[in-house]
Chain A
């Protein structure tokens, strides 16, 4: 069946992007029923730091405590399997294969996440006594995400037939976009917690937009020139490659290739590079930033958003950075609120995603009217901007502003609103993060770099000598001095 975007509503039923919005807003809406006393989302399983087996997870709401961890585990599985399978059906995936793959990913993700929450791994020093331990790594509970990523990488690189068997369900972009919509709820609730947090969220959004715009203008021409002059890439290859590494990875490669009407093989090969390099960045950068600049949390987060390509890898890197930096600061007696560093990483990425459509449209005009001039013969429909617009951003912004609007208009319902919102914005979001980590690992086959020598070298050189330093400099210029609100502030 053909997939053509013809009308403004094309793709609403069968793209991952829109399904992230439907899953996000659907569960947000159900969560809001807590305002009227109906908690219909508290069955969601959430992890807890544990030392005694069986206490590793609980239902997210006390109203569902009778389910116990296993009942909650099964309920969570059933609900999400049904919901995501409906999405898979409309996205024309093989639903049977999807359910099998989803089940494997679900079990792997929760197992890794629970292991990561083992007290000897996760518990902070001030909680050793509570768990009856005398030592521990104090890495924080999100270490489970790293374990999930490593397990995924092992499967993707050493058990390739098994990776192929489950890959129908490996949809890191879908999972992370759904999680980002839930992050909108988180940002909304953080914003209503205090005037400081609200102001900080807005400041973060504005600084992120400015930084992203400046970084764009520097990355693209520099890498295009390097690709054309030094690496002698053909014009089409240089443009697609350049957008892939400079802007937002795979989606920018596809948008640019489409804009300049490049052969589809070009974005496919560039995307392979992007995905593999994003994995390397995801593993290396959080630890590097934490070690080198432990007192620049928001700068680090914003730089991460501009350096690590693809939404999934950036969100994953942001989550690890958040966990590492908050734990590092806590060890020095500074208690930053969680998730602001992650928000900084995602804010720049979301702006980048928004700009892709506009940038691709400008490139399309340039290509049609200047590079491959065909006067009066072809035109670029303005609707191209809408078709390339990341729709999950609409869900993210809707959740963020809805929570703030409800809290402003009816402040008396904030407490009840948070009952449902807390189950959605934290445990559900984190579960989709965990699913993203495993899927990313499974899809990252490093052997695909073979045969891409010159392009791989250009990618590495651009990343180390252009993208990473400029991203950090720009992030520092626009975010220097910004600090996450302190716990209790």
Chain B
């Protein structure tokens, strides 16, 4: 899973949030999140004209503790973003 940018994704009850030390994007749906991520990357500068592969790994620690013992994984996604 090679990627240009790695992010952690969580859901706060209302929206999906993807973040790393430098970037944060959010959206009520995943397409909205991806659109916000593209805008965020454009604002950040340095990526203009590139197509980036962004890895989003769901932070499993945000699931309720009692159900984590039943499954060790929620999801990962790879998103291609044209900046």
Contact = CB atoms under 8 A, between A and B. Distances in A.
Asked whether A and B interact, the reply is: yes
Interface of A: 1-6, 11, 15-18, 167, 171-174, 249-251, 254-255, 257-259, 261, 263-265, 267-268, 271, 310, 364, 372, 374, 376-381, 383-384, 387-388, 391, 443
B78 A5 contact: no
B46 interface: no
Contacts of B48: none
B76 A387 contact: yes
Interface in B59-74: 59-64, 66-74
Nearest to B55: A6
B74 A258 contact: yes
Contacts of A4: 8, 57-60, 76
A268 B72 contact: no
Contacts of B68: 16
B61 A2 contact: yes
A374 B70 contact: no
A250 B11 contact: no
B52 to A, nearest CB: 12
A268 B77 contact: no
Query: Size class of B's contact patch?
Result: 20 to 34
Binding site of B, secondary structure by majority: helix, strand, loop or mixed? Answer: mixed
A173 B59 contact: no
Given A268-B63, A372-B30, A6 B1 contact: yes
Interface string B32-59: 0010000000000000000000010111
B43 to A, nearest CB: 20
B75 A258 contact: yes
B27 to A, nearest CB: 12
Contacts of B1: 6, 381, 383
B80 A254 contact: no
A122 B33 CA distance: 61
A379 B74 contact: no
Contacts of B60: 3-5
Given A1-B61, A6-B57, A261-B30, 4 more contacts: A5-B76, A254-B71, A264-B74, A377-B80
Contacts of A18: 72
A22 to B, nearest CB: 14
A255 B75 CA distance: 8
A293 B46 CA distance: 71
A250 B76 contact: no
B72 A378 contact: no
A440 to B, nearest CB: 12
A335 B33 CA distance: 63
B78 A249 contact: no
Contacts of A254: 63, 67, 70-71, 73-74
A268 B64 contact: yes
A258 B73 contact: yes
Contact of B70 (A2, A11, A310): A310
B72 A261 contact: no
